[in-house]
Amino acid sequence: MMGDLTTNEGQTWANNQNSQTAGARGPVLVQDYQLLEKLAHFNRERIPERVVHAKGAGAKGYFELTRDMSDYTMAGLFNGLGKKTPVITRFSQVAGEAGYPDTYRDVRGFAVRFYTDEGNYDIVGNNTPVFFINDALKFPDFIHSQKRDPKTHARSQDMQWDFWSLSPETVHQVTMLMSDRGIPASYRMMHGYGSHTFKWVNKQGEQFWVKYHFKTNQGVHNLSNEVAEELRGKDTDYLQNDLYNAIEDQDYPSWTVAVQIVPYKAGLDYSQDIFDVTKVISQKDYPLIEIGQMVLDENPKNNFEDIEELAFSPANFVPGIEASPDKLLQGRLFGYKDAARYRLGANYEQLATNRPKNEVHNYERDGLMAQNQNGDVNYEPNSLGGPEENRHAEVHGDALDGKVGNYSVNEDYYTAAGKLYRLLPTDEKARLIENIKSNLGQVKDIKIKIRETKQFYQADKEYGTRVAEALGLELSLIK
């Protein structure tokens, strides 16, 4: 027994079954404060959904360091063999709304927050090591093409393939999306990636470039189109429920965490731009180094408070980890926190799920829903003993040179997609072609089909030829 039912002001609630009325047949009285408050709160119970990654599920757990990385970074969570750091994760779909079925073909978000002793550190990635675009300026247009047609209000193959066919940097990710990994069988059974290149700095000031890899210990498993469609009709929350039920059954999912480390100068001189998120760094050149295990062993106590109010940001770094010149990453450093302020309010970082485990000391004050404020000095510099800056956390800058302008990366976008195609087993190649046929084949405008197929052909002649044959295009149109 939890005690008396009360209002949010703590007053005892006498009757939660019937409104106050003037006599048995009414009308309802305006003085029924409890009715009015209940309806008013109900009208405001929904917050704006995320513009992207609206549908998702999350869980809590820990990261345990199995290899000390203090030679490469001063970040505490990566220093000290056996160190455990609490984590919270969120897995998601990119394009669909909050009620969208889990088993549509889509990239999956893979976001991890580490509640470190030095503040929150977020890795906000996907289940693919690359992305569709490499410049934040194109992100709103890309997402618009994945959403609903402004006229028909329906998802449109024409829109997304039109954008992809006019954006050659997308061909690597499109190939991944149309391959088997486009429909994971479980959030537990997919890899995760930080995707971008980041910077690590050790206590001596030495700098390194780093890529994050989360390798599922459950094995990678994907769904066929047929099974995915069948599940879609039975359980729209299939992936969410699979994760929740596994943890409830104490079948705790885990991932081996590894990194690729590239010496600072070698990264700048690498054969391709390591800051272009449409490409990978070859593991032959820089093999994976296993550094730890991530285990998820706790479901949310309250999904709204723990997961829906959770606000990740790639800008959440701790000393020893910094941003790189990746143009898409640079835009995300602003975009995520700004989205959180719109969705949750100015003080979203004071919500329990976003609050760091160490104490917060700064001069930000007031605003909507401000909590835990005191009467201490609210300006800086001051002579009243307020918090002071610590140069230990200072960013280690990169040398810059060049004229201000709007630059295109202007690189080869096809080689990586061709390599990926040639790595696929024969049966997966066949499914890739069939998936492209069933999706691109729905596009009404033949010019879009030709443009996209030309990209596949430039990636690999066999790849493009097979797509052309599947779509019934003359080869002369794509060569």
What domain count does the chain have? Answer: 2
Q: Are residues 203 and 348 in the same domain?
A: yes
Provide φ and ψ at 116, rounded to 5°.
Answer: -85, 170
Q: Are residues 102 and 231 in the same domain?
A: yes
Task: Indicate whether 448 belongs to any domain.
Answer: yes
Where are any strands of DSSP class E within 224-341? 254-263, 289-298, 321-322
First to last CA, the chain: 74
Helix (H), strand (E) at residue 429: helix 426-440
Task: Indicate whether 323 belongs to any domain.
Answer: yes
Task: Indicate whether 447 belongs to any domain.
Answer: yes
| Residue 255, amino acid | W
Task: Indicate whether 338 belongs to any domain.
Answer: yes
Asked if omega into 381 is within 30° of 0 (cis), the reply is yes
DSSP string computed for 120-174: EEEEEEESSSS-S-S-GGGHHHHHHHHSB-TTT-SB-HHHHHHHHHT-GGGHHHH
Q: Are residues 217 and 108 in the same domain?
A: yes
DSSP string computed for 23-92: STT--B-TT-HHHHHHHHHHHT-PPPPPSSS-SEEEEEEEEEESS--TTT---GGGSSTT-EEEEEEEEE
* CATH number of the domain bearing residue 118: 2.40.180.10
Query: Cβ(65)–Cβ(81) under 8 Å?
Result: yes
Query: Cβ(61)–Cβ(87) under 8 Å?
Result: yes
Q: Are residues 423 and 348 in the same domain?
A: no
Task: Indicate whether 442 belongs to any domain.
Answer: yes
Q: Are residues 312 and 427 in the same domain?
A: no
Q: Closest Cα to residue 397, out of 450, 449, 324?
A: 324
Task: Indicate whether 396 belongs to any domain.
Answer: no
Model confidence pLDDT, tens digit, residues 56-98: 999 999 999 999 999 999 999 999 999 999 999 999 999 999 9
pLDDT score recorded for residue 188? 98
Q: Are residues 204 and 82 in the same domain?
A: yes
pLDDT score recorded for residue 407? 87
Q: At what angle do helices 446-459 and 426-440 cross, to 10 degrees?
A: 160
Helix (H), strand (E) at residue 201: strand 198-201
Burial class (CB in 10 A: 0-12, 13-18, 19+), 394: exposed
Contacts for 294 with CB less than 8 Å, ≥ 6 apart: 61, 62, 63, 87, 89, 112, 214, 254, 255, 257
Q: Are residues 101 and 245 in the same domain?
A: yes
Helix (H), strand (E) at residue 207: strand 207-216
Task: Indicate whether 372 belongs to any domain.
Answer: no
pLDDT score recorded for residue 45? 92
Residues in the chain: 479
Domain that holds residue 259: 56-134+182-354
pLDDT score recorded for residue 363? 85
Task: Indicate whether 399 belongs to any domain.
Answer: no
In whole angstroms, how far apart are CA 94 and each of 50, 142, 154? 10, 11, 16
Q: Are residues 346 and 448 in the same domain?
A: no
pLDDT score recorded for residue 422? 98
Contacts for 457 with CB less than 8 Å, ≥ 6 apart: 463, 464, 465, 467, 468, 478, 479
Query: Cβ(57)–Cβ(108) under 8 Å?
Result: no
Contacts for 319 with CB less than 8 Å, ≥ 6 apart: 74, 75, 118, 392, 393
Q: Which residues of the chain have pLDDT under 50?
A: none
Q: Closest Cα to residue 128, out of 238, 316, 279?
A: 279
pLDDT score recorded for residue 366? 87
Q: Are residues 95 and 192 in the same domain?
A: yes
Q: Are residues 319 and 425 in the same domain?
A: no
Domain end position, chosen among 305, 338, 354: 354
pTM for the whole thing? Answer: 0.95
Contacts for 359 with CB less than 8 Å, ≥ 6 apart: none
Active-site annotation, residues? 53, 126
Query: Cβ(7)–Cβ(37) under 8 Å?
Result: yes
Tokens of 426: 């024969």
CA distance 123 to 314: 6
Q: Are residues 215 and 298 in the same domain?
A: yes
Q: Hunting for tokens 């066919």 — which residue is that?
A: 165
Where are any strands of DSSP class E within 299-378? 321-322
Query: Cβ(178)–Cβ(160) under 8 Å?
Result: no
Domain end position, chosen among 328, 354, 380: 354
3-state secondary structure of 328: helix
Domain end position, chosen among 339, 354, 369: 354
Q: Closest Cα to residue 398, out of 261, 211, 197?
A: 197
Q: Are residues 83 and 216 in the same domain?
A: yes
